Chain A
Amino acid sequence: MKIQKRHLLLAILALIAIWQLFSWIINRPILPSPIVVGQVFIEELQAGLIDHFLASLWRVLASTALAILIAAPLGLILGQSKRLNRVISPVIYLVYPIPKVVLVPIILLILGVGDLPKIAIIFLILFFQILVLVRDQAASLRPELIQSVRSIGAGRRALFRFVYIPASLPAVLTALRQSIGTAVAVLYIAELFATQQGLGYYIYLNGSTLFNYPAMYAGVVAMSILGFGLYFSVDWLESRFCNWQFVT
C-alpha cells in the first residue's frame, strides 16, 4: 500500500495533538506536553542521546546484517534441497514459535556484557523469520526456471547472481518488515541489562532512576524514530527492488 507523504504528515500532527490533549487532561509530570519533550529532545541529543541512539542503531543493523548473511543462504539451501529440508524442518518447526525474548537472561549469562549478547538476541529473532520465509520462497522456484537459466549458460555463480539472490530478496524484506517491530522491542529489554549505552538503558535510567520524565520521553521518541526509520527503509527497498510483485 502506498501512503502519501501529506497523509503521513497529517497523521503525525494528529498524534501530537492527541498527546497534547492527554497531557492537559492528566496534568501530571508523568505525561509532559509534546512541546516540552520536543525541546528536551533537542537538548538531550547534544547531551548524549545521539550516542545512545547510535549504539542501539548499530546493534540492530549489525544483527540484521548477520541474520541476512546467515539465514538467507541457509534458507536457499533448504528450499532447494528436499532431502535436507526433510531433516531440518522439524527442528525449525519446534524452535520457530518459541518467543526468543525468553532467552534474554540465558544469552546474557552466556555472552556476558557488551554488544554481543544484544546483537545475538535480535539476530535470533530475525534469523528464524528470514530462514523460514526464504526457504518457502526458494522452494517455490520452479525447476523449469533454473533449468532454462542454466541452459543460457549460467553456472552456479550466475544462478546465485541472477536467480537466487533476486528470488530471495522479497522474502528477506518481508521477514524484516514482520519482525523489525519485535526486534526493536526486544532490543529495549536487552538494553536494560549490563550496559550503559543504548536507548533502552537511557529510557529506563531517566524514567525509573532519575525520574526525569521529559528526558525519558525524548528517549521514547528516539526509539520510535529508530523503529520507523527501519520500517521505512524496508518499505523503500521493497518498492525499489521488488515492484514486480505489486504490478498487475
Chain B
Amino acid sequence: MIQIDSVNYTYQQGPPVFEGFNWFVDRGDAWVILGPSGCGKTTLLYLVAGIITPQSGIIEIDGQALTRPRPQSGLILQDYGLLPWATVKQNAELGLRVRTFYGPDGKHAPSNNQDSPDVDHWLGRLGLTTQADKYPGQLSGGQRQRTAIARTLVLNPDLLLMDEPFSSLDAPTRESLQLLTLELVSEKKITLILVTHSIEEAAFVGKKILLLKKPPNKKAVIIDNFSSGTEDYRDSDEYRQLCRELRNRMDEI
C-alpha cells in the first residue's frame, strides 16, 4: 500500500535523517515505528502523511505519488489536536464539515465521497455519548484522544497515522486505548502506523515493528510480531521476550 523508495530527508540543520531509505507497508498491517527521540520517527510519519515532502526519492500510496496530505489518511497527534472552542460532537464532525466545505474535489476530500454521517455511532462506539456536549477542556486526556480517534474514523480512513497518541495518558487508560485502537483497526481493515518511544507499546500494538536509530537511517530494521494484538498477549512469555529483545537492540544503536 505504501511504497517508500530511496527517500532522502534532511532538516536545515543537522545530519540527514533518512538517506536512501526504503520501506514497504502492506494493506491492513499494524505497524509501529519505534526509536529513541530524535531518530526521525515523527519525520517518517509526517512524510507518509504528506505534511512534509522528501528532498529526493518517491513515496507512493496505492500507486499514487504523494504530494500533499491525502484525504483517506487519518492523523492523530499526541495532544492539542482538538479545537478548544468546539464540543466533542462538533470536533468529531469537523472532518465532515471540512469535506462539505470543499465538496468532493479529490484534493481535500475523496472524489467518490460516500461518507455516511454516522458521528453518533462513533461517539457511542468510543464511549463518548455522554460527553458529546462538553468542550475538550472539560475532558480527561483519554477522552480527548478518543474524541480525536472518533473524528478520524468518521471520515472512513484506510490509513491511520498516530504520533505518540497515548504517551500522556495514565497506564490503564493507555492500555485500554491501545486495545481499542487494534480492535477498530482490524474491524475496519485500516492500515495502522503508530509512532512511539515506548518498547512496551511497540511490542503490544505492532504486528510489525520498524526500528529507527540515530540518524542517518539508511536501512529499515524490521521485527515481526505476528502473535500480538490480543488482550492477554501482554501476559505471555513471547511478549516479555520481545520487549527484552527490543530493549537490547535499542541499546545497540
Residues of A within 8 A of B (CB): 142, 144-145, 147-155, 157-158, 161-163, 166-167, 169-170, 242, 244-245, 247-248
The reply to whether the CB of B74 lies closer than 8 angstroms to some CB of chain A is yes
The reply to whether the CB of B51 lies closer than 8 angstroms to some CB of chain A is yes
Given the known interface contacts A142-B80, A244-B137, the answer about A151 and B85 at a Cβ–Cβ threshold of 8 Å is no
Q: Tell me the complex Cα distance, A152–B115, Å.
A: 13
- Residue-by-residue, is B166-199 near A (CB-CB < 8 Å gives 1, otherwise 0)? 0000000000000000000000000000000000
Which 7 pairs across A and B sit closest by C-beta, in order of nearness?
A151-B75, A148-B81, A152-B95, A144-B80, A153-B108, A142-B80, A244-B135
Q: Tell me the complex Cα distance, A161–B148, Å.
A: 20
Q: Is the CB of B78 within 8 A of A151?
A: no
User: Interface-forming stretch among B21-29, B97-105, B225-233?
Assistant: B97-105
When distances are taken between beta carbons in the complex, the residues of chain B under 8 Å from A148 are 75-77, 80-81, 148
Q: Is the CB of A154 within 8 A of B78?
A: no
When distances are taken between beta carbons in the complex, the residues of chain B under 8 Å from A151 are 49, 51, 69, 73-75, 161
The reply to whether the CB of B66 lies closer than 8 angstroms to some CB of chain A is no
Q: Which residue on chain A has the smallest CB distance to residue B99? A: A153
Q: Tell me the complex Cα distance, A167–B98, Å.
A: 16
When distances are taken between beta carbons in the complex, the residues of chain B under 8 Å from A242 are 85
CB distance from B24 to the nearest CB of A (A): 23
Across the interface, A158 reaches (CB within 8 A) one of B49, B84, B108, B135, namely: B108
Q: Tell me the complex Cα distance, A152–B99, Å.
A: 9
Q: Is the CB of A161 within 8 A of B101?
A: yes
Q: Is the CB of B71 within 8 A of A162?
A: no
What is the interface size of chain B, counting residues whose CB is below 8 A from a CB of the partner? 38
Q: Tell me the complex Cα distance, A4–B161, Å.
A: 49
The reply to whether the CB of B8 lies closer than 8 angstroms to some CB of chain A is no
CB neighbors of A among B116-160 (8 A): 134-135, 137-138, 148, 151-152, 155
Q: Which residue on chain B has the smallest CB distance to residue A170? A: B85
CB distance from A168 to the nearest CB of B (A): 11
Q: Is the CB of A247 within 8 A of B102?
A: no
Q: Tell me the complex Cα distance, A170–B80, Å.
A: 19
When distances are taken between beta carbons in the complex, the residues of chain A under 8 Å from B148 are 148
When distances are taken between beta carbons in the complex, the residues of chain A under 8 Å from B138 are 247-248
The reply to whether the CB of B60 lies closer than 8 angstroms to some CB of chain A is no
CB distance from A144 to the nearest CB of B (A): 4
Q: Tell me the complex Cα distance, A142–B78, Å.
A: 12
Q: Is the CB of A162 within 8 A of B97?
A: yes
Q: Tell me the complex Cα distance, A229–B117, Å.
A: 41
Q: Is the CB of A152 within 8 A of B94?
A: yes
Q: Tell me the complex Cα distance, A166–B86, Å.
A: 9
When distances are taken between beta carbons in the complex, the residues of chain A under 8 Å from B71 are 153
Given the known interface contacts A147-B51, A147-B77, A247-B138, the answer about A153 and B85 at a Cβ–Cβ threshold of 8 Å is no
Q: Tell me the complex Cα distance, A142–B136, Å.
A: 15
When distances are taken between beta carbons in the complex, the residues of chain B under 8 Å from A144 are 77-81
Chain A CB within 10 Å, residue with most, of B76, B82, B83, B151? B83
Q: Is the CB of A162 within 8 A of B83?
A: yes
When distances are taken between beta carbons in the complex, the residues of chain B under 8 Å from A142 are 80
Q: Which residue on chain A has the smallest CB distance to residue B108? A: A153
29 A-B contacts (beta carbon < 8 Å): A144-B77, A147-B77, A147-B81, A148-B77, A149-B81, A151-B161, A152-B74, A152-B95, A152-B151, A152-B152, A152-B155, A153-B95, A153-B102, A153-B109, A154-B108, A155-B107, A158-B98, A158-B102, A161-B101, A162-B83, A163-B83, A166-B83, A166-B85, A244-B84, A244-B85, A244-B87, A247-B135, A247-B138, A248-B137
Given the known interface contacts A144-B78, A145-B80, A167-B85, the answer about A152 and B49 at a Cβ–Cβ threshold of 8 Å is no
When distances are taken between beta carbons in the complex, the residues of chain A under 8 Å from B101 are 157-158, 161-162
Q: Tell me the complex Cα distance, A47–B94, Å.
A: 53
Chain A CB within 10 Å, residue with most, of B86, B101, B148, B152? B101
CB distance from A64 to the nearest CB of B (A): 22
Q: Tell me the complex Cα distance, A233–B203, Å.
A: 57
Q: Which residue on chain A has the smallest CB distance to residue B148? A: A148
Q: Tell me the complex Cα distance, A151–B80, Å.
A: 14
Q: Is the CB of B98 within 8 A of A153?
A: yes
Q: Which residue on chain A has the smallest CB distance to residue B81? A: A148
